[in-house]
């Protein structure tokens, strides 16, 4: 009776700017009997790994940090990168206060270019996250996973509040916890010893 052995090897690697690429290869061989399984597994694993490793070194197109911004700018910003040109709405209703004042003073691009290549937080936050990743050799996939664990969304999709929280986590991770203490004010206007709020 012929025995079929299927082997699959896949690898996913992180790339700059929170990109990643993956490649997998699989083969199926027929064996004459079960005693060949162990040796064949060893052989196939080596073969597949070498093949995948060889190919995955070709990274192909890697989007730059500002990938997609030109497309946004063409829609009305003359191709010049403005301070918040890389922000998009992330599907949140931007109703602000309901009386028409601009959310955060940051006019966000909302041209429907929601390919996920732009960052939803501020330029400063994006720069800070990237700097921490580079300076401390953080694994980008781990950072991405952290964002997903906390917010259920990728780093680029984080809003400003979430990006700030992620930065707190990253700073703590690299041993530079952000100073979040603030002078707490009395919780009542009645005269009493200072209490914390």
Partner 1 sequence: MSARTTNAATTASTPGAGARSEKEIIAELLQTVSASRLTLFLQCRLKFFFRYVLSIPKPKAPALHVGNAVHAALKARNRARWLQQPLSLKALHDSYSAAWTDESEGKVDWAGAEAEEKAIGWRLFETYLREHPLPEDLKPDAIEVSIEADLREHGLPRLVGILDLVLQSRIIDYKTSSTTPNPERVAHTHEVQTSGYAVLYRHNTGQRELGLELHHLVKLKNPKVVVTLMPPMSDEQQTRLFHLMDAYQTGLQRGDFVPSPGMQCACCEFFNECRRWK
Q: Per rule CB under 8 A, is residue 161 in the interface with partner 1?
A: yes
Q: Per rule CB under 8 A, is residue 99 in the interface with partner 1?
A: yes
Of 163, 76, 96, the closest CA to residue 123 belongs to 163
Which DSSP string corresponds to 75-91? TTTTTPPPTTTT---TT
Residue placing its CB nearer to partner 1 in the complex, 74 or 111: 111
Given the rule CB under 8 A, which of 10-18, 26-34, 43-51, 189-197 is the region that contacts partner 1?
189-197
Residue 115: helix, strand or coil by DSSP? coil
Could you tell me how many residues make up the chain? 197
Q: Per rule CB under 8 A, is residue 185 in the interface with partner 1?
A: yes
Q: Per rule CB under 8 A, is residue 46 in the interface with partner 1?
A: no
What does the block give as tokens for 128? 């800070």
Q: Per rule CB under 8 A, is residue 106 in the interface with partner 1?
A: yes
Min dist CB 126 to partner 1, Å, is 14
Given the rule CB under 8 A, which of 6-14, 40-48, 56-64, 84-92 is the region that contacts partner 1?
84-92
Residue ranges of E strands in the chain: 3-15, 19-31
Residue placing its CB nearer to partner 1 in the complex, 64 or 186: 186
Min dist CB 181 to partner 1, Å, is 6
Residue placing its CB nearer to partner 1 in the complex, 115 or 186: 186
Task: Report which DSSP code applies to 59.
Answer: -
Q: Per rule CB under 8 A, is residue 187 in the interface with partner 1?
A: yes
Q: How far is CA 184 from the centre of its chain?
A: 34
- Phi-psi region at 41: left, alpha or beta (left = phi > 0; alpha = psi -120 to 50): alpha
User: What gap in Å lies between CA 189 and CA 2, rounded to an integer?
Assistant: 85
Q: Per rule CB under 8 A, is residue 112 in the interface with partner 1?
A: no
**Site size for partner 1, by CB under 8 A?**
45
């Amino acid at each position: 009776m012929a025995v079929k052995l299927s082997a699959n090897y896949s690898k996913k690697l992180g790339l700059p700017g929170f990109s990643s690429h993956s490649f997998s290869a699989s083969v199926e061989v027929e064996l004459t009997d079960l005693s060949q399984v162990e040796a064949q597994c060893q052989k196939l694993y080596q073969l597949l790994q070498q093949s995948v490793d060889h190919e995955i070194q070709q990274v192909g197109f890697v989007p730059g940090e500002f990938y997609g911004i030109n497309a946004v700018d063409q829609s009305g910003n003359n191709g010049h990168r403005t301070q918040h040109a890389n922000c998009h709405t992330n599907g949140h209703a931007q109703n602000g206060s309901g009386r028409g004042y601009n959310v955060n003073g940051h006019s966000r691009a909302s041209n429907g270019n929601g390919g996920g290549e732009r960052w939803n937080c501020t330029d400063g936050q994006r720069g800070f996250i990237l700097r921490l990743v580079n300076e401390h050799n953080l694994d980008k996939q781990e950072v991405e996973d952290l964002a997903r664990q906390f917010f259920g969304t990728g780093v680029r999709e984080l809003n400003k509040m979430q990006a700030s929280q992620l930065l707190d986590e990253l700073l703590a991770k690299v041993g530079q916890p952000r100073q979040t203490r603030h002078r707490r004010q009395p919780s009542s206007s009645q005269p009493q010893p200072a209490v914390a709020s």
